[in-house]
Amino acid sequence: MLPLCLTETEKRARAMADLRMGLPVAITGPWGTGLVFAAETVDDSRFAAAMGMGGVEVAVTAWRAATLKARVYDGDVARLAVPRHASLRWLRSVADPASDLEHPMKGPFREVREGSADIHRMAIALTKEARLLPAALVLPVVDAVPEGLTLLQVTAESAARLSAYHVVSAARLPTALGGAGRLRVFRPDDGGEEHYAVTIGTPDLDGPVLVRLHSACFTGDILGSLKCDCGPQLHAAMAAMGREGAGVILYLNQEGRGIGLANKMRAYALQDQGFDTVEANHRLGFEDDERDFRIGSELLGVMGITRVRLMTNNPLKVAMMETQGISVTERVPIAVGETEHNRAYLAVKAAKSGHLL
């Protein structure tokens, strides 16, 4: 292969930007080649062009299909035929639950069951990775793939691959809560999100290190939102590490349990309609938690940390660390920040996501 050719990983990173801009991406597999658009970003003229080519389907997750009352024949993905006279507005309303209560009857749908859902499944994975709504327009490519488009191969493996990370830069960062400290920036080799490590004091890397894996929450961490407990948890963890004289906060840019801030605000809008945090994710078509917990253990590995006292109320985090080869010698609970606004949210996390209080 020419040294200047792109790898599948590089093409996949490029495909994220394409989908976010409303451009199509081509995906090829044993069943043929498809053109894929994100339902959220495709514009009028490209939608019209796609409809002109025929055979257009919309791929949604099984969660979204359940809300739409559409049948699912492919496990986690449903394929819906796009009616010949459907408008872009119709497509958006299939993808976006914002108007579900106002217009509950979007169907009837013609579910597609012949052929393979491989391209559709990969299209959903790409829209999720691009932090868009998990819904995609998929149409068959009959002739050649239009010039200049990113062309990806269907592979189960590429979706599951975890990037390697390296430290880009680091510097001293004293904080009011933690005292002396250091901030490191980690960059993945696949063009994805950077993550940060805040080291407080000088942890002894041989012993168990007091660690918090904190998922970014712009609303809680920065704005002091009362809807969740993230800000107080972050600050309590830093203060505890300051008191002990050592610890590590991994600040993971997995906003909204991995769905991104735009989708989290869509989830909040659904919560304003009366749905709880888990139901809102499902109506949008997401799992209740879309985070890749392997990133945390990967970064600990880069830092040379193998044994931790993990500050969390989430047993899944403990289990994932253990599976990834990090020994959790103790779970350190952090029950702080309950308010009248987040009491119901915390109760749902305890009941549905197994959080310990």
Please list the active-site residues: 289, 291
256 is in an annotated binding site: yes
Based on the shown chain and the rule CB under 6 A, indicate whether residue 225 belongs to the binding site for ligand GTP: no
Q: With residue 331 as reference, give the H or E element that holds it.
A: strand 327-332
User: Which of the listed partners (ligand GTP, Zn ion, none) does 150 bind, with a CB threshold of 5 to 8 Å by partner kind?
Assistant: none
Signed CA dihedral, 36, 39, 42, 44: sign only: positive
What are the tokens at 37?
Answer: 């658009």
| Distance (Å, whole) CA 157 – CA 203 | 36
| Distance (Å, whole) CA 131 – CA 258 | 8
Residue 316 CB, nearest approach to ligand GTP (Å): 7
Q: Is 313 in the site for ligand GTP (CB under 6 A)?
A: yes
Distance CA 233, CA 338 (A): 10
**Closest by CA position to 200, among listed 264, 232, 244, 159:** 244
Binders of ligand GTP in range 237-256 (CB under 6 A):
254-256
> What is the contact mask toward ligand GTP in residues 180 to 219, using x (rule: CB under 6 A)?
-----------------------------------xxx--
Calculate the alpha carbon distances from 244 to 171, 209, 240 in Å. Answer: 21, 11, 6
Q: How far is the CB of 172 from ligand GTP (least distance, A)?
A: 27
The reply to whether omega before 83 is within 30° of 0 (cis) is: no
Which does residue 312 touch among Zn ion, ligand GTP, none (CB within 5 to 8 A, set by kind)? ligand GTP
Contact 229, 342 (CB under 8 A): yes
Candidates 91, 197, 237, 259; binder of ligand GTP (CB under 6 A) is: 259
Residue type for position 254 = Q
Q: Applying CB under 5 A, does 234 fall inside the site for Zn ion?
A: no
Restricting to residues 270-329, name those near Zn ion by CB under 5 A. Answer: none
Q: What share of the chain is helix, strand, coil (3-state, %, to 5)?
A: 35, 25, 40
Name the segment binding ligand GTP (CB under 6 A); options: 50-58, 131-139, 188-196, 309-317: 309-317
5 assigned binding-site residue: no
Q: Is 26 known as a binding-site position? A: no
**Does 216 belong to an annotated binding site?**
yes
Nearer to ligand GTP, 79 or 317 (CB): 317
# binding residues, ligand GTP (CB under 6 A): 21
Backbone φ/ψ region at 250: left (φ over 0), alpha (ψ -120 to 50), beta = beta
Q: Is 217 annotated as a binding residue?
A: yes
Q: Give the interface with ligand GTP as residue ranges (CB under 6 A).
A: 215-217, 228, 230, 233, 254-257, 259, 264, 267, 277, 281, 312-314, 317, 349, 355
Binding residues for Zn(2+): 217, 228, 230
Q: Give the interface with Zn ion as residue ranges (CB under 5 A).
A: 217, 220, 228, 230
